[in-house]
Amino acid sequence: MAAKVLRLRIDSPYPGESMSSFLSRAAQFYAMPASTLLKELLTGKNWSKLERRDVDLEPSSMLEQRLSEAVSNWTAPLIAHQGFMEWTLAQRQRHAYCPVCFQEDLVAGRTPYFRNDWIPVFVTTCWKHGTPLFDWEMTYAGGWRRWPRSWVYQQSSAVEDVPLFMQRHLDGLAWLEASVAHETLVWDGICVPRALAYLNRLQELMEKPSAALMPESKGFRSDLDAFQNVARELARLASRHQVGHREPPIGMAACPTAESVWFGPLPPRAGRRHWEFLDYGIRLNGCVRWRRSYLMFVVRTLLGMERFGSLFPPGPALPSPSWRAWWQEVVIPRLGAHQRNSMEWHMQTMLRGM
């Protein structure tokens, strides 16, 4: 690289921007695939599979060195990163976004960008605005994202050039703001705004923003530590599925049947994977509607536990206040044989004292 320095005439990463977001918009600016841009940046360097593992959270030191040479006023994306507390989505699944953040970016005259804050599995709400996240629908294979052309080149029409799916998401947020007391039931007596508020609280208890310091441990006997351990186990339980037995994930037993912009089932493309009993399987599906579905199963179960229910904001009384009653009356009857056995085992062993 000493003999030939590639110059990228593009804005350095914005505050909190993920490396994959920066590389995606740089590649689109130069009308090339992200893989080609990486190849150009790393000319003469044998970039190992380990170094390509996660450009967001574990970027290659060589890649950062080449980018510091190629981009004026280079700022490393992880300069303020303090780590995450729980699972993070696999790199190719990191397409959650906040349409309000994107609007603010456009008004500020910059290309909207994806934040590191949106990478964790438990994050389904924008930390800044408190609004639900959505799935960005303009993506390439491997999870690389693309933008409207006017955004990338920061043209004067960029603010008005909003994709149709983003406009639908903004309309959904407007509906949500206008219907805080809306009585549309999603789960057993829980309306949409309250369900989203519960998920926001779960996020606050399980995760933190990228730049925030790690909280001090409360000790393994604390209610918060116990809460986090149980929530983690419930997420594993709710999201896994029996591919061989053709039984859907347990979280779908409580998923609304009607089409919803907020909640949804496991996407069909994920049903063929055989990672159902692995934590990595949770990271391999970034669909935010499905994540809300199985995380709401976690919330509804925790609300029915005497020890943890008080950690959530108070709300209307639930038809089945006990989590055991809810499982037995609502969830288990909708499951296949193998999931029923799994649920009964959890009730008798791991969760017997809750």
pLDDT in tens, 210-221: 999 998 876 667
SS3 string of 237-267?
HHHCCECCCCECCHHHHHCCCCCCCCCCCCC
DSSP 162: -
Mean pLDDT of 313-340: 86
Among 29-33, 49-53, 123-127, 143-147, whose mean pLDDT is lowest? 49-53
* Digit-coded pLDDT (tens) for 97-153: 999 999 999 999 999 999 999 999 999 999 999 999 999 999 987 789 999 999 999
DSSP 96: E
This prediction's pTM? 0.92
Mean pLDDT of 290-311: 93
Q: Report yes or no: 55 and 91 within 8 Å, Cβ to Cβ.
A: yes
Mean pLDDT of 231-236: 92
Interatomic CA distance for residues 8 and 56, integer angstroms: 19
- Tell me what the pLDDT averaged over the chain comes to: 87
Give the pLDDT band (50/70/90) at residue 1. Answer: very low
Mean pLDDT of 256-279: 68
Residue with tokens 């049903």: 271
Q: Report yes or no: 77 and 116 within 8 Å, Cβ to Cβ.
A: yes
> Does residue 3 have a pLDDT over 60?
no
CA 195 to chain CA centroid, nearest Å: 17
* Digit-coded pLDDT (tens) for 58-87: 998 888 999 999 999 999 999 999 999 999
**The predicted structure's pLDDT at residue 46:** 64
274 C-beta neighbours (distance < 10 Å), count: 9
**The predicted structure's pLDDT at residue 252:** 81
Give the pLDDT band (50/70/90) at residue 2. Answer: very low
